[in-house]
Amino acid sequence: MPRSAYELYYWPDIQGRGEFVRLALEDAGAAYADVARLPAAKGGGVDALMRFLQGRPHGLRPFAPPFLKSGRLVIAQTANILLYLGPRVGLAGRDDASRFGAHQLQLTVTDLVAEVHDTHHPIASALYYEAQKGEAKARAGSFVGERLPKFLGYFEQVLRDNGGRHMIGRRASYVDLSMFQLLAGLDYAFPKAMRRLAAKTRLLRALKERVEARERIAAYLASARRIAFNEDGIFRHYPELDL
């Protein structure tokens, strides 16, 4: 495997929760290996990920991907990884108010991502979507009608309270990148609902456009490294759920 400052372990065919970490690494220009996307001949592939999970890792064993290896340190959980990475790659302040404020917002993003997942898998993750379509439609109706406006209204207010340019602080942070990913995923999964909310999320929409225009992010989005949204990931487009 090529030597890198960071090794990211996540599934190779979906954006999922790992994409929030990828965006931070890409924007920072950090040297990293996306391990499961490397060929097996170079020490990569899903088998490498599973060997790590099932082996005897140094430190605390992760429950599931994503997890990040930095030297001998292994960190799991998306928000936890970004709490670690942020100050080290210039995407979060080093003072307590900045670090934990960004972490608080990222945990709220995590809550929303979990609710997005549960719109198409409201009963069990192990069941196919087709086995729970009726329940998914009911769950999606509640999500689109109540939960989504509440979450996005909160993020819009936080952005407004901070001056409208960044979610926290006076410079770009990993929370801004995560907000881009969140909105991009929601636009894919729930285009009708997001259009209805556009007038109430003008600051968030403008933030998304600014993040897209960042030099390294724009290059990443145009590259083969950016996995397309698909119906195996968290953000899935089922027209019947976009109520």
Q: Is the residue at 141 inside a domain?
A: yes
Q: Using an 8 Å Cβ cutoff, are 175 and 106 in contact?
A: yes
* pLDDT tens digits, 73-101: 999 999 999 999 999 999 999 999 999 99
Range of the domain at 186: 96-214
| Entry field: residues in the chain | 243
* pLDDT tens digits, 139-193: 999 999 999 999 999 999 999 999 999 999 999 999 999 999 999 999 999 999 9
Give the confidence band of 3 by pLDDT, cuts at 50, 70, 90. Answer: low
Structure tokens at 125: 């993750």
| Pair type for strands 32-34 and 73-76 | unpaired
Residue 164 half-sphere exposure, CB side, CA atoms within 13 Å? 4
Q: Is the residue at 74 inside a domain?
A: no
Q: Is the residue at 135 inside a domain?
A: yes
CB-based contacts of 98, cutoff 8 Å, min separation 6:
92, 168, 169
Q: Using an 8 Å Cβ cutoff, are 90 and 28 in contact?
A: yes
CB-based contacts of 138, cutoff 8 Å, min separation 6:
122
Average pLDDT estimate for 11-37: 97
Number of domains in the chain: 1
Which CATH number does the domain housing residue 102 bear? 1.20.1050.10
Q: What is the mean pLDDT of the chain?
A: 95
Question: Tokens 């285009």, residue?
Answer: 191
Q: Is the residue at 131 inside a domain?
A: yes
Q: Is the residue at 163 inside a domain?
A: yes
Could you tell me the pTM of the whole model?
0.95
